[in-house]
Amino acid sequence: MKSAGKAAIWVAFSKWLGLLSGLISLIVVARLLTPEDFGVYGFLLVVLVIPEVFSSDSLNEVLIQRTDLKAEHSNSVFLSSLVFATLFFGLIQLGAPYIATLFDVPSLSDYLRAMSVVLFMGALSAVPAALLQRHMRFREITIVDVIGYVVGAIVGVSSAVIFQNAWALVAMEMSRRFVRMLAFLYFANWWPSFRTNIYEFRSLLRFKLASIGLRLVAAGDISIPRLFVGLYLGPAALGMFNLAIRIQNQAMQALVSPFGAVAFPVASKTQNDLPTLYKTMSTAIWLAGFIAYPAFIGAAAAAPVIVPVVLGTQWNDAIIAIQISMLMGIRLPSSAFNGGVLRGVGKPGLLLKVSVFALLVLVLMLPFASRISLEAVMIALAFQKFLGWLLSSWAVYQAVRFPITRQILAGSSVLVASLAMGAGIWWASDHLPLNWSDPAKVVAIIGLGVVLYVGGLVMASPSMAKRGTRSLILLFRGDRKLAIANLRNMP
């Protein structure tokens, strides 16, 4: 738990700085670009999502989970990633014009050919990133993330001012990945090698297949809705969908990932010590909910006031989609840990079955929802996410006997206070004085949310509110031992 607490602090620092730089750059870029520009970038994500699963996103996880790791294992993962990156890069270069014709976006061909270079960046980053995570060297990972966030934000904003089209989004992402690749290679002190053998490759194959399957399903969760939205509702709707999901992802990375990121390595190390695993999960779920519930619910309630002021009136049609996306975040404090735990204890197959079922449910709903509206697609996606959350909680119970009720109710008092806060913000949004300026309304709504949340939490559970606040302060101060001791007796 001490190691996990230290790791969570570094991840939290990285993600919160990433949220700050990401929101600043997103606000600037969103005000300079149009929903159609974001839609073009959304098509790029649809095309590249499967190639990235094979070239980087899933192959490296086996290096974290395996107890006896050899250099040949790392080389095997690198060679697999490089082969897939080369294969898909060639296919994209040849097929880009046909893909652009399919989506009826002629300019997409040039964007695709340029963006496909990130496949090689992912192949080179996969092994060193996994090695740092395996040894819980989250300080170095934090430095890598910070460099990527800062460089990406600078390049993205500069490109948006110069080009004022989707090239700004492409430049932002490519620059971020390039500097991350260089930094990972440096901190891990690892250099690509082709020395391996078929025995070591086969020893990793079973876990690789399950891991790739999980990543493919996760990619389908987002890429399939993007595909339906783009084909049936057009680039503008896809841009709004992409923005709504991106805001949720950035909030998740900052508010939940600092705790969820350590689930995989911690579960791997404590898979034979279930009481420690239970305690770590309970504490992390409550603490994640203490931060995430009010943020997601408050953002959903305040979106009609904040979006026009911050992002610009051209995004008004995306408000409902953003609200639904934020409300999906309610499941994250618990669900963010489930996948990491199941992979950490060597049960990726169980998680794969749950994920495939949830994806099939989404695929059945999308043909109908995409013919109605963007909001209907978001509702279908939200239903699928909550279904997947319940099923993954059941899977964790089957794997390690961690009670489902304990997973779901770990942050119930915080959730109640957050819902009360959201109701207050929603009511106040329609009763603000008409003569107030837009910035004044935004400040008033945020201030009201803070007051209502703190008050509701104190009324719902005074002792828990005091303990959670004190623990966060101790974590920020770097006093991990006291923070963990303070949380030790939490339910």
3-state helix/strand/coil string of the chain: CHHHHHHHHHHHHHHHHHHHHHHHHHHHHHHHCCHHHHHHHHHHHHHHHHHHHHHHHCCCHHHHHCCCCCHHHHHHHHHHHHHHHHHHHHHHHHHHHHHHHHHCCCCHHHHHHHHCCHHHHHHHHHHHHHHHHHCCCHHHHHHHHHHHHHHHHHHHHHHHHHHCCCHHHHHHHHHHHHHHHHHHHHHHCCCCCCCCCHHHHHHHHHHHHHHHHHHHHHHHHHHHHHHHHHHHHCHHHHHHHHHHHHHHHHHHHHHCHHHHCCHHHHHHHHCCCHHHHHHHHHHHHHHHHHHHHHHHHHHHHHHHHHHHHHCCHHHHHHHHHHHHHHHHHHHHHHHHHHHHHHHHCCCHHHHHHHHHHHHHHHHHHHHHHCCCCHHHHHHHHHHHHHHHHHHHHHHHHHHHCCCHHHHHCCCHHHHHHHHHHHHHHHHHHCCCCCCCCHHHHHHHHHHHHHHHHHHHHHHHCHHHHHHHHHHHHHHHHCCHHHHHHHHCCCC
For residues 361 and 220, the answer to whether their CB atoms sit within 8 Å is no
Does residue 182 lie within any of the structural domains? yes
For residues 149 and 17, the answer to whether their CB atoms sit within 8 Å is yes
Does residue 63 lie within any of the structural domains? yes
pLDDT of residue 89: 94
Query: pLDDT class for 265, splitting at 50, 70, 90?
Result: low
Both tokens assigned to 471: 């623990």
Query: pLDDT class for 424, splitting at 50, 70, 90?
Result: very high
pLDDT > 60? residue 206 = no
Q: Give the span between the Cα atoms of 306 and 319, in whole angstroms.
A: 9
pLDDT of residue 143: 81
Among residues of the chain, what percentage have pLDDT more than 90?
21
pLDDT of residue 96: 92
* Number of domains making up the chain: 1
Query: pLDDT class for 5, splitting at 50, 70, 90?
Result: low
pLDDT of residue 258: 64
Provide the 10 A C-beta neighbour count for residue 376.
16
pLDDT of residue 262: 63
Query: pLDDT class for 42, splitting at 50, 70, 90?
Result: confident
Q: Give the span between the Cα atoms of 337 and 384, in whole angstroms.
A: 18
Query: pLDDT class for 336, splitting at 50, 70, 90?
Result: confident
Strongest mean pLDDT among 139-148, 305-314, 328-337: 305-314
Q: How far apart are the first and last CA of the chain?
A: 16
Does residue 430 lie within any of the structural domains? no
Does residue 90 lie within any of the structural domains? yes
Supply the mean pLDDT for the chain. 79
Mean pLDDT across 194-203: 59
pLDDT of residue 241: 92
Both tokens assigned to 198: 């078929």
Which amino acid is it at 289?
Answer: G
Task: Mean pLDDT check: name the lowest of 86-90, 209-213, 422-426.
Answer: 209-213
CA dist 41 → 66, 102, 140, 284, 308 (Å): 36, 15, 30, 34, 22
Does residue 146 lie within any of the structural domains? yes
Mean pLDDT across 1-13: 55
For residues 128 and 190, the answer to whether their CB atoms sit within 8 Å is yes
pLDDT > 80? residue 232 = yes
Does residue 370 lie within any of the structural domains? no
Q: Give the span between the Cα atoms of 341 and 338, in whole angstroms.
A: 5
For residues 454 and 466, the answer to whether their CB atoms sit within 8 Å is no
Residue 199: give the domain boundaries.
Answer: 1-221
- Reference 282, options 268, 263, 254; nearest CA is 263
pLDDT tens per residue across span 138-174: 777 778 888 888 888 889 889 988 888 889 999 999 9
Does residue 327 lie within any of the structural domains? no
- All residues at 6 or more sequence positions from 461 whose CB lies less than 8 Å from its CB, including other chains: 413
Which amino acid is it at 270?
Answer: T
For residues 436 and 444, the answer to whether their CB atoms sit within 8 Å is yes
pLDDT tens per residue across span 207-223: 556 566 667 777 788 78
Considering only residues 410 and 483, tell me which one the structure prediction assigns the higher pLDDT: 410
pLDDT tens per residue across span 440-456: 888 899 898 888 888 88
pLDDT > 80? residue 15 = no
pLDDT of residue 205: 56
Does residue 350 lie within any of the structural domains? no
- Reference 294, options 469, 106, 112, 474; nearest CA is 469
